[in-house]
Amino acid sequence: MRVLVTGGAGYVGCVLVQELLARDCEVRVLDSLRKPGAPLVPLLANPRLEFQRGDVRDRRAVEEALRGADVAVHLAAVVGYPACERDPWLAREVNVGGTLNLTAARSPAQLIVFPSSLSNYGSVPDGLCTEEMEPQPLTLYGSTKLEAEKLVLEKGNAVVLRPATAFGLSPQLRLDLLFNNFMYRALNEGVIVVYQPHFLRAFIHVRDFARAILFAIDNAERMRDGVYNLGAEALNLTKGELAARIAERLGCRLQISEDGEDPDKRDYRVDFSKLEKQGFTAQMTINDGIEEMARGLQVISLPNPYSNASYY
């Protein structure tokens, strides 16, 4: 099987590429390397991995990357509220324009697996969040991911995943993600500061994220043209509960702040039963993530993630 991964040098992408190569797939990565691409360097010794430096906004680059592919996994995006607010034009060009290029250039026989976002739902004040709800995104990030979803589904032969907030170690580590950021602060500052601690959030380990993409490829015949929330019931936690678990394990302080607000209003329990009924089950727990991040962050040197504005 030949698989194109756009954004394959990113946080999820480089983990997915490892998994695809372990399956003996032929893999092509299309990535602009706006972030350093060093995580892929050890993998490039594998002759089944081809790297193409290019941007999804470039129609010709997308056409070339798609040539001969059986499946396209579309990860390339400006991810998260802060990044999209810093450069709204780039966010729309990449998240919507790049997806339009991909859907226009691919053949109907080429499957697309598109990881979108739970941020599409916006504010859900009344209980459980399901795929049958009408998304009402509140931020540019959520609205661009929803537009991209619609483009993918309109073309058909696609599987859309709406993943929970990812966590865990990756060769291209992100510290702006809630879980990872709490771990960084606990280990480097000895305190976790939490605002809106009662807000309920959903999580998925980065390796389970990659596994879910592989699962969608393997089961495309019965999942085709569907939308699936990606996460696990056991990984629905309030921000305060998550911070308390980390603080207890690492022996740091927990401080509740009255300042700060989540622009996406992500405060809801998510129903993951639709994907679970297809046969997918997340394997990594919150405690697994705490243990691996504690080991990993102790042996690597990383810059302070607060040099750029982010939100939690």
Same-domain check for residues 62 and 9: yes
Find the mean pLDDT for residues 174-180: 92
What pLDDT band is residue 107 in, cutting at 50, 70 and 90? Answer: very high
pLDDT at 231: 94
Quick one: which of 55, 72, 312, 54 has its CA closest to 193?
312
Q: Six-digit token pair at 60?
A: 């010709």
Asked whether residue 173 is assigned to any structural domain, the reply reads yes
Find the mean pLDDT for residues 16-36: 94
Find the mean pLDDT for residues 78-97: 93
In the Cβ-directed half-sphere of 262, how many Cα atoms lie within 13 Å? 23
**Looking at the predicted structure, is the pLDDT value of residue 204 above 70?**
yes
Asked whether residue 117 is assigned to any structural domain, the reply reads yes
Same-domain check for residues 196 and 73: no
Residues whose CB falls within 8 Å of the CB of residue 177, separated by 6 or more in sequence, listed in order: 11, 165, 166, 167
Quick one: which of 22, 23, 28, 21 has its CA closest to 3?
28
What pLDDT band is residue 123 in, cutting at 50, 70 and 90? Answer: confident
- Residue 151: exposure state from Cβ atoms within 10 A (0-12, 13-18, ≥19): buried
Same-domain check for residues 259 and 149: no
pTM for the model = 0.93
Same-domain check for residues 39 and 124: yes
- Beta partners for 229? 162
CA distances to 13, 52, 96, 161 from 150, in Å: 22, 27, 10, 12
Same-domain check for residues 139 and 161: yes
Helices 206-218 and 13-22: angle between axes, nearest 10 degrees: 50
What pLDDT band is residue 298 in, cutting at 50, 70 and 90? Answer: confident
Look up the CATH number of the domain holding residue 293: 3.90.25.10
Same-domain check for residues 130 and 207: yes
pLDDT at 55: 96
- Residue 118 and residue 229 in contact, taking contact as beta carbons nearer than 8 Å: yes
Asked whether residue 276 is assigned to any structural domain, the reply reads no
What pLDDT band is residue 306 in, cutting at 50, 70 and 90? Answer: very low
pLDDT at 265: 63
Tally of domains in the chain: 2
- Beta partners for 129? 270
The least confident of 33-37, 102-106, 178-182, 296-300 is 33-37
Mean pLDDT of the chain: 91
Find the mean pLDDT for residues 271-297: 95
Same-domain check for residues 187 and 130: no
Asked whether residue 190 is assigned to any structural domain, the reply reads yes
Find the mean pLDDT for residues 262-269: 70
Same-domain check for residues 62 and 208: yes
Asked whether residue 312 is assigned to any structural domain, the reply reads no
What pLDDT band is residue 217 in, cutting at 50, 70 and 90? Answer: very high
pLDDT at 268: 77
Find the mean pLDDT for residues 56-80: 96
**Looking at the predicted structure, is the pLDDT value of residue 309 above 50?**
no
Same-domain check for residues 38 and 51: yes
Q: Six-digit token pair at 34?
A: 């706006």
Other Cβ atoms within 10 Å of 140 Cβ, number: 20
Q: Six-digit token pair at 20?
A: 């695809």
**Looking at the predicted structure, is the pLDDT value of residue 307 above 50?**
no
The least confident of 80-84, 206-210, 280-284 is 80-84
Residue located via tokens 């702006």: 176
Asked whether residue 38 is assigned to any structural domain, the reply reads yes
Asked whether residue 6 is assigned to any structural domain, the reply reads yes
Look up the CATH number of the domain holding residue 218: 3.40.50.720
Give the span between the Cα atoms of 98 and 304, in whole angstroms: 30
Same-domain check for residues 114 and 40: yes
Which residues in 12-46 are b (16+ Cβ under 10 Å) and which e?
bbbbbbbebbeeebbbbbbbbeeeebebbeebeee
Q: Structural domain of residue 255, as residue ranges?
A: 168-202+234-270+285-306
Same-domain check for residues 174 and 210: no
Same-domain check for residues 82 and 144: yes
- Residue 258: exposure state from Cβ atoms within 10 A (0-12, 13-18, ≥19): exposed
- Residue 31 and residue 17 in contact, taking contact as beta carbons nearer than 8 Å: no
Asked whether residue 278 is assigned to any structural domain, the reply reads no
